[in-house]
Each structure stands twice: as C-alpha cells, then as structure tokens.
Structure 1
Amino acid sequence: MTPIIREARAGDRSALIRLMGALNDFETEIEENRADASAAAEHFAWVEGQIEAQGGVMLVAEAQGRVAGFICYTFEEDPGAFVRPEYRRHAMIWDISVDEASRGQGIGQLLLNAAETHAKASGIGEIRLYVLEGNARAQRIYREAGYRNYERLMSKRL
C-alpha cells in the first residue's frame, strides 16, 4: 500500500519527535558532536519555529494509519551579491526520517518528491539540504534523486 503524503498535524507531534529522536541517535553514530534522542523535542520545536518564521512545510508519510516518516523544509534567501538575484531564494531541507520498519520501501523518495513539488508550487526553483559527510547511504539516495554537491562545509575540532 502506497503511503499518503500530507502536511503534519498537531496530533502527529509525538510520532514526529520519536522519528526526530531516531534520526538524532543514528547521527550520533556518525558524528560525535550530534545530540542524541533526548534533544529531539527541543530540535523539533526549533524546526517548527523556523517554519513559522520563514515559511516552509513539514510533511509526513502516513502508512496504515501511522506516521512512517517525515520531511521538513524552510524557505531561505542567500544574502548579498555573491548569488544572482534569481537564484537567491531556495528551500532548505532540515530533516528527513523514516522509521526503521518502513525503510527500503521508497518512503524517503516519496517525501523528497513531495517536498520538491510543494516548493516548486511555492515559486521556489532550488532545494538544498545538508548531509553528514559520514552518511554514505543518505548521500547515495540524494545523488540518485538528482542532488549534487553545492558547497562543502569543513570543520576542525579544536
């Protein structure tokens, strides 16, 4: 059965925080500076605030009456003259998570496609996302969906 992609509702909050926590725990295995599931509610509230302040969407994949995954993005604009004006406004995906039992069923791809469709309908011509350097699986999925490296953020622990 194909999941239904829809905008998140207030009743989804606990499922979304659970999925955010699973994403946090997954990322702690890749990058030591990542917060674990205990920070999920705080991060979720931050994302909600960003969506409210900047515009954007939180979409869920509902399968068999339960939230199986989500994606959220905001609308942003590059500052200054280093990017041509027609390319400054874009969507930024902040988080995407699919519950473990639903992985490998194309739900992440459905969520990406839905976000792209929603963003395009809002007049956005580009969508960006961050992915941890050590998350090879996500990088592969994004490349297969047509994403490419745009910038590289480098860090050095002191």
Structure 2
Amino acid sequence: MGINIAVEKDISDIAGLYRQLFSEMAKIQPAFICPGSQDEAFIRSNIESEDADILIYREGEEIVGFLMIQKKSTPPYECYIPHQFAHIMDLVVDQRHRGKGIGTLLLQEAETWAKKRKLEYMDLGVLTGNTAAEGLYKRMGYRDMQKTMRHML
C-alpha cells in the first residue's frame, strides 16, 4: 500500500486504468471522446523521461490509481512571463476504490514532486461535466485560469 514511481513492469496495469479513464471521459463528452486505450509507448516514454513520472498508488499488488506529471515551461513568447511548472497530464483512480482519499494522496505527492524540482506551480485540465474531479481539484486549491470554448458548426 502506498505511492511509488512507476517502472516498466507497471505499464500494463496503467494501460488498464487508462481504458477506464477514457471510457468515463466518453460518457462525459460523447460527441468528442470515445472509449479507447493509451499507447504503451507513450506510457513508457513518461516513465523513462527525466522530466516526467507516473505516480502509482497500490493496494496490495494492485495498482488502483495513478497520476502522470510532467515538468513544463511557459511558451517562449514575449508576452509570457517565463515559468517552470508541473503539468498533471492524467489522474485516475479505479472506480472501485474512489472515495478513499487516493486522488488526494496522489495530488499531495505530485506537489512534493514539483517542490523538489523547484517548480513554481502545478496545473491540469478537467472536462466540463466531470464534477467529482473538479470538486477534488478545488478542494486541493486549484482555481480556474483559462477556459476552452467551442462553437459547433
């Protein structure tokens, strides 16, 4: 039990959680997202990267949640004040294990990860309609900074 950094042998379990994540995302925004799987090469590249990690939460031998975190920089545009920050690419907890504080623990560990690297802030995206995730992020201190809007033709 507890949080560790993923290694290569964890890829298939992480891929299984991605299938669950994408299935749930498809229910929230079915016009734009369909159930699917994550490319294992993508998962592997984040495990091997110097600027990324996948934090995993285990109960016994089973991975029941993960958080993918990446070190990022603001774009090199004159109008942007340069910042180094942590981007949370994905966070998923197995639906059978929700409500136990695992997402909170993963976010707290991600904050430790970012602070060790002297990053300035953390950001993430959340689908409109994913009220459970949005509630968690707000409880953890995340605030709206940008909104993506879409106009259907």
Q: Same fold (TM over 0.5)?
A: yes
Identity of aligned residues (%): 30
**Cα displacement (A) at 1:52:** 5.0
- Over the residues paired in the alignment, what is the CA RMSD in angstroms? 1.7
1:148 corresponds to 2:147: no
Report the TM-score when normalising by structure 2: 0.90
The answer (yes or no) to whether the contact 2:46–2:54 under 8 Å persists in 1 is no
**Cα displacement (A) at 1:41:** 3.1
Q: Map residues 1-158 of structure 1 onto 2, 5 A cutoff.
A: 3-32=1-30, 33-37=32-36, 40-42=37-39, 44-49=40-45, 55-79=51-75, 80-85=77-82, 88-158=83-153
Aligned residue pair count: 151
The answer (yes or no) to whether the contact 2:7–2:47 under 8 Å persists in 1 is no
**Cα displacement (A) at 1:149:** 0.4
**Unpaired segments of 5 or more residues in structure 2?**
none
**Cα displacement (A) at 1:45:** 3.1
**Cα displacement (A) at 1:47:** 4.9
**Unpaired segments of 5 or more residues in structure 1?**
none
The answer to which of 70-79 and 20-29 deviates more is: 70-79
Amino acid at match of 1:108: G
**Cα displacement (A) at 1:53:** 5.8
